[in-house]
Amino acid sequence: MTETIVIAEIVKGAVHPTTAELITAAHALGSQPVVVVPCADASVADGAAQFSGAARVLAAKSDVFSNYDAAGWASALDAVAPAGVIITSASPQSKDLAARLAARRGISVVQDVVQIEGGNLTSPIYSGKAMQTVSLSGNAVVTVRPNIFAPAGNDGSNDVSVVDTTGNIATAVQEFMARASTRIDVAEANIIISGGRGMGTPANFTHLEAIADTLGAAVGASRAAVDTWDEIPHSMQVGQTGKTVNPNLYIAVGISGAIQHLAGMRSSKYIVAINKDADAPIFQHADYGIVATWEEALPILQSTLSAMMA
Ligand SMILES: Cc1cc2nc3c(=O)[nH]c(=O)nc-3n(C[C@H](O)[C@H](O)[C@H](O)COP(=O)(O)OP(=O)(O)OC[C@H]3O[C@@H](n4cnc5c(N)ncnc54)[C@H](O)[C@@H]3O)c2cc1C
């Protein structure tokens, strides 16, 4: 049987907890995976040692992995894991890497998988309007959406083997400069409160920020909000041309629920919509709907949450 390789999700130089979900996805495919940790410093791979259900953990050590570059990473990973079914997270960076790995190897790539049954993989297509199921035979690269599979346990004690690897580097990214923001990124958040054009002005997003601070949530936005107001950066945009998110709770405020917005958030576990228009399409997808202006609803939500959290 072909080997299954989980490529650990690396965020800010550390193994991200979503890696444990990839191990569960590998089990759904029927195998105990080898977890490969791309790193410049092998100690980073210690962050994967505690995951249960892994066959082994490999630290793929190379300077290439200091900063993300699809060509360099794919080339260096070839030396460590040249064949097999590869599973990565469906984060923007790992989806890019998945496509590069598949193209180099001449194998299929299946992006944004949300269900695995036997050898069948299901993922949304056409901006989430339909689901497709493909069956896997042979090697492929699979990206798995976060927050879908339960994470593998943390009671493992895997030995970490270190493999020095180099890639063919045509270009090297020297440095990434993060945008100065203290807020949680929507792509990483478990709870998101998003505002749309119905917020009226960008200054009104402070009401969303206050609730986000109470809940430990990220603040997102619709494209209409991002396009209309310079103060709302594109990094906050959720949707087809923004970020795909999959939180446990998504609160949409003053957002109509256009198909392109839904494409980025409809797989959230619970959706709450606040909109003054009872016929807004977002209500067809919401688990809980509040027909009210945000001016009426948010102060009540804020005071109720503050009392609950106190
Ligand atoms: C190719 C393409 C890609 C796109 N990609 C994206 C994308 O990635 N993300 C995205 O979001 N959109 C995207 N769009 C745009 C999308 O079609 C919609 O135009 C957009 O989502 C609308 O944003 P909105 O709901 O904030 O604004 P609107 O459609 O203007 O809706 C505002 C809502 O606020 C409500 N409202 C108004 N005042 C209040 C109030 N005081 N209290 C409560 N509710 C109020 C209204 O009833 C209305 O439902 C894309 C479009 C195209 C063509």
Nearest CA to ligand 1 atom 41: 293
Please indicate whether residue 244, judged by its CB atom, sits closer than 6 Å to ligand 1.
no
Domain boundaries, the chain: 4-164, 186-309
Mapping DSSP to helix (H, G, I), strand (E, B) and coil, where does residue 108 land? strand
Q: What is the pLDDT of residue 251?
A: 98
- What pLDDT shows up at residue 252? 98
Cβ of 91 below 6 Å from ligand 1: no
Closest CA to 4 of 47, 43, 56: 56
Contacts 24+ apart (CB under 8 A), 300-304: 301/211, 301/274, 302/207, 302/210, 302/211, 302/214
Average pLDDT over residues 281-298: 98
pLDDT band at 223 (very low <50, low <70, confident <90, very high): very high
Question: Who has greater pLDDT, 244 or 87?
Answer: 87
Q: Is the per-residue pLDDT at 10 higher than 60?
A: yes
Q: How many CB atoms lie within 10 A of CB 79?
A: 14
Amino acid at 219: V
Helix locations, 54-138, DSSP H: 70-80, 92-105
Q: How far is CA 147 from CA 98, 189, 194, 238, 247, in A?
A: 19, 10, 19, 17, 7
- Dig out the tokens for 15 from the structure: 């193994």
Segment (H or E) for 120 = strand 120-125
Instruction: Check if the beta carbon of residue 114 is closer than 8 Å to that of residue 43.
Output: no
CB distance 32 to ligand 1 below 6 Å: no
pLDDT bin (cut points 50, 70, 90) of residue 226 is: very high
Q: Looking at the predicted structure, is the pLDDT value of residue 190 above 70?
A: yes
Tell me the per-residue pLDDT of 100-140, one tens digit each, with 9 for 90 and over: 999 999 999 999 999 999 889 999 988 778 999 999 989 99
**4-164 shares its CATH topology with 186-309:** yes
Q: Which residue has the tokens 């807004």?
A: 280
The class that CATH gives domain 4-164 is alpha beta
Question: How far apart, in whole angstroms, are the C-alpha atoms of residue 1 and residue 5?
Answer: 13
Mean residue pLDDT across the chain: 93
pLDDT class for 310, splitting at 50, 70, 90?
A: confident
**Cα Rg of the chain (Å, integer):** 21
State yes or no: pLDDT of 1 exceeds 60: no
Cα 22 to Cα 79, 148, 186, 200, 269: the distances in Å are 21, 10, 20, 41, 19
Minimum CA distance residue for ligand 1 atom 14: 260
Find out whether the beta carbon of 239 lies less than 6 Å from any atom of ligand 1.
Answer: yes
Number of helical H runs and strand E runs in the chain: 7, 17
What is the pLDDT at residue 168? Answer: 67
Q: What is the pLDDT of residue 180?
A: 66
Is residue 40 predicted with pLDDT exceeding 80?
yes
Q: How far apart are CA 247 and CA 263, in angstroms?
A: 14
pLDDT of residue 174: 76
| pLDDT in the model for residue 105 | 95
Residue 281 clears pLDDT 60, i.e. is over it: yes
Which residues are registered as beta bridge partners of 87?
Answer: 6, 142
Could you tell me the distance, in angstroms and rounded to a whole number, from the CA of residue 276 to the centre of ligand 1?
13
CA dist., res. 144 & res. 24, Å (int): 10
CA of 221 to the centre of ligand 1 (A): 9
First to last CA, the chain: 54
Given a cut of 90, whether residue 182 has pLDDT beyond it is no
Residue with CA closest to ligand 1 atom 53: 260
What the block records as the tokens of 99 is 């496509």
Cα–Cα dist 271/275, whole Å: 13
> Tell me, which fold does domain 186-309 have in CATH?
Rossmann fold (3.40.50)
Helix H or strand E encompassing 211: helix 205-215
Check whether 84 has a pLDDT greater than 90. yes
Burial bucket for residue 51 (CB in 10 Å: 0-12, 13-18, 19+): buried
